[in-house]
Chains A and B, each alone.
Chain A
């Protein structure tokens, strides 16, 4: 047997993707890292600052407040969208002509651009002229999302639920459709009621798609920018200033590139870490 000489030509085939990833991911990311450890006053003059910006961000009350709002928002929309999405998926027909009608209706909000959603809800919820705003006010409830923090929060959450519950519905529905009939038949024979069927058949079978749904909704809502920016602009005051809105204010408003870069990295690591922990927990029992 002759030993074959190693063929190095394969590297050529990998080269395009290496260049592409470097161009659109590695280089920009490293630029951010670069900014996060240096101070600059323009003209490409940099001074080494070490971890100063990271310390500053981590000790800043402003960052804590934005992070707290961000977690509160994400938790709220998950707590609403996931159960609501499952509930809607359960009521959708499993066969017949209405299936496609339901699917199209469900997909519609997902097709609307984010800034349009923000603008729509802004107009919809305006207390003087908007349909929703006027309707609530005419019920005798004083509602003005441009001035009341609670109203601003409710409107933002409602908008996100309106925009994104469909995604959970579609994923949960796909999970439900993949359950073979035999499971329902066996459950009938075993005398299981609707709750037992949900608890022991439907929910476990939806576990994987729900994990994906929760991960997607977590990441998306944790990085939400456009919709609240258009709807409330982070206000009133800074009550709906979420992390990404705050980040843009620091980076482009105040032009503090160092702290902004440090904050971006911390932000990125929080998303990554949360997803990893959640995914590991959900999948831990899967292979057992």
Chain B
């Protein structure tokens, strides 16, 4: 069990530099609690895998320290960090049986055969691999192989953290769901800290208690799925999570009020108000936009049926606003106006939320 700390962490593959682009991971200060289920969510190339490899010790960070339970492990080699990792493509030792695969990490650490046997059987039972223990690992399907990879992590009693690097990429859709619930169940059972890297928001939101959203080498928000949905700290979180993503509209500030289309849509407390010269953006999710008698005047340009609701695209001048309307509700053809739920309408300056 372990609490993971990343202190003033930065990493560059090119040796660093003055420019922002030189850094694959920008300044990062994060503390992850023991026993949590975290997801690292972000598009490809945002630095998720780099961060994961730094925690596991496969990459040495250019700057900053990594701590496990408060003790500095930045210079500790991977095999002594008590970390397990499941990779995107299943890694199994082809020539060995499933049993030997699971036993491999223990045997390498000199555990006695008696204990190895007990642990392997216990983990095999947990992962429903009992029936295949004597089979050669190379003959298994992709999901079976991923279970073995996971099993090699679980089998060690000294493992503090299990990390998953997009582990379901090569799994068939219907098995993804099963494996994901299995992971969730295992987390509750073994209580190990788990970090799950993915670019799929569904995977992240269903697996994790807390989701860490990354964008261009920076952690933009750490929060529960509800927090990410209701209070995105960055316009990127708004875009990336939710389908369709948050509307980001350019507006302006007037005496502490954020205005859009001539109407006040949100308030900004005096203390945190940005420089009036700075361009502000207004973010509101399609779920929190409604047609009304008065409000921001718009033209309806497109309606698409998404099953239980309709996605309506409207234009205010040259700005696109999407909203969700429950199935069966009528959509005004002319003189339409929109109101934004003030509780869930946020103001952003330079991409970041202003409260």
Give the Cβ gap from A81 to chain B, nearest Cβ, in Å: 23
A189 to B84, CA, bound (A): 6
Question: In the complex, which residues of chain A have a beta carbon less than 8 angstroms from the beta carbon of B79?
Answer: 188-191
A285 to B97, CA, bound (A): 13
A192 beta carbon closer than 8 Å to chain B? yes
Select from chain A the residue with minimum beta-carbon distance to B109: A191
B85 beta carbon closer than 8 Å to chain A? yes
Give the Cβ gap from B257 to chain A, nearest Cβ, in Å: 53
Question: In the complex, which residues of chain A have a beta carbon less than 8 angstroms from the beta carbon of B94?
Answer: 204-205
Count class of interface residues, chain B: 20 to 34
Interface 9-mer from A178-186, A222-230, A258-266: A178-186
Of A191, A200, A204, most buried by chain B (CB within 10 Å of CB) is A191
Among A185, A196, A204, A288, the residue within 8 A (CB) of B87 is A185
Determine whether the beta carbon of A192 is less than 8 Å from that of B108.
yes
Question: In the complex, which residues of chain A have a beta carbon less than 8 angstroms from the beta carbon of B96?
Answer: 200
B180 beta carbon closer than 8 Å to chain A? no
Question: In the complex, which residues of chain B have a beta carbon less than 8 angstroms from the beta carbon of A205?
Answer: 94
Determine whether the beta carbon of B139 is less than 8 Å from that of A186.
no
Select from chain A the residue with minimum beta-carbon distance to B104: A190
What is the number of residues of chain A that contact chain B, defined by CB distance less than 8 Å? 18
Determine whether the beta carbon of B108 is less than 8 Å from that of A190.
yes
Determine whether the beta carbon of A189 is less than 8 Å from that of B136.
no
Give the Cβ gap from A184 to chain B, nearest Cβ, in Å: 9
Question: In the complex, which residues of chain A have a beta carbon less than 8 angstroms from the beta carbon of B199?
Answer: none
Annotate B56-87 by CB proximity to A: 1 below 8 A, 0 otherwise: 10100000000000000000011100011101
B349 beta carbon closer than 8 Å to chain A? no
Question: In the complex, which residues of chain A have a beta carbon less than 8 angstroms from the beta carbon of B136?
Answer: 285, 288
Question: In the complex, which residues of chain B have a beta carbon less than 8 angstroms from the beta carbon of A196?
Answer: 104, 108
Determine whether the beta carbon of A185 is less than 8 Å from that of B105.
no
A190 to B152, CA, bound (A): 8
A190 to B105, CA, bound (A): 4
Among B78, B83, B95, B105, the residue within 8 A (CB) of A204 is B95
Determine whether the beta carbon of B91 is less than 8 Å from that of A183.
yes
B88 beta carbon closer than 8 Å to chain A? yes
Select from chain A the residue with minimum beta-carbon distance to B139: A288
The secondary structure that dominates the A interface is helix
Question: In the complex, which residues of chain A have a beta carbon less than 8 angstroms from the beta carbon of B32?
Answer: none
A140 beta carbon closer than 8 Å to chain B? no
A202 to B32, CA, bound (A): 36
Question: In the complex, which residues of chain B have a beta carbon less than 8 angstroms from the beta carbon of A186?
Answer: 85, 87, 91, 149, 152
Give the Cβ gap from A178 to chain B, nearest Cβ, in Å: 13
Select from chain B the residue with minimum beta-carbon distance to A286: B138
Select from chain A the residue with minimum beta-carbon distance to B53: A185
A97 beta carbon closer than 8 Å to chain B? no
Give the Cβ gap from B57 to chain A, nearest Cβ, in Å: 8
A67 beta carbon closer than 8 Å to chain B? no
Question: In the complex, which residues of chain B have a beta carbon less than 8 angstroms from the beta carbon of A182?
Answer: 87-89, 91
Question: In the complex, which residues of chain B have a beta carbon less than 8 angstroms from the beta carbon of A285?
Answer: 136
Give the Cβ gap from A217 to chain B, nearest Cβ, in Å: 23
Determine whether the beta carbon of A188 is less than 8 Å from that of B89.
no
A192 to B77, CA, bound (A): 13
Instruction: Given A196-B108, A288-B136, A288-B139, answer yes or no on A189-B85 (Cβ-Cβ < 8 Å).
Output: yes
Q: Which of B87-116 contact A (CB under 8 A)?
A: 87-89, 91, 93-96, 104-105, 108-109
Among A189, A191, A193, A200, the residue within 8 A (CB) of B93 is A200
Question: In the complex, which residues of chain B have a beta carbon less than 8 angstroms from the beta carbon of A185?
Answer: 53, 56, 58, 78, 85, 87
Determine whether the beta carbon of B89 is less than 8 Å from that of A180.
yes
A189 to B53, CA, bound (A): 11
A230 to B139, CA, bound (A): 50
A105 to B103, CA, bound (A): 42
Of B56, B89, B96, B108, most buried by chain A (CB within 10 Å of CB) is B108
Question: In the complex, which residues of chain B have a beta carbon less than 8 angstroms from the beta carbon of A251?
Answer: none
Annotate B155-172 by CB proximity to A: 1 below 8 A, 0 otherwise: 000000000000000000
Question: In the complex, which residues of chain A have a beta carbon less than 8 angstroms from the beta carbon of B89?
Answer: 180, 182
Question: In the complex, which residues of chain A have a beta carbon less than 8 angstroms from the beta carbon of B83?
Answer: 189
Annotate B134-154 by CB proximity to A: 1 below 8 A, 0 otherwise: 001011000000000100110
Select from chain A the residue with minimum beta-carbon distance to B105: A190
Instruction: Given A182-B88, A288-B139, answer yes or no on A189-B95 (Cβ-Cβ < 8 Å).
Output: no
Q: Which of A197-225 contact B (CB under 8 A)?
A: 200-201, 204-205
A residues near B (Cβ < 8 Å) are 180, 182-183, 185-186, 188-193, 196, 200-201, 204-205, 285, 288
Can you sample 7 A-B contacts with CB below 8 Å?
A180-B91, A182-B88, A182-B91, A185-B53, A185-B78, A189-B84, A191-B109
B residues near A (Cβ < 8 Å) are 53, 56, 58, 77-79, 83-85, 87-89, 91, 93-96, 104-105, 108-109, 136, 138-139, 149, 152-153
Beyond A200-B93, A200-B95, 19 extra complex contacts between A and B, CB < 8 Å: A180-B89, A185-B85, A186-B85, A186-B91, A186-B149, A188-B77, A188-B79, A189-B56, A189-B78, A189-B83, A189-B84, A189-B153, A190-B152, A192-B104, A200-B96, A200-B104, A201-B93, A204-B95, A205-B94
The 6 closest A-B pairs by CB, nearest first: A191-B108, A182-B87, A190-B105, A186-B91, A191-B79, A188-B78
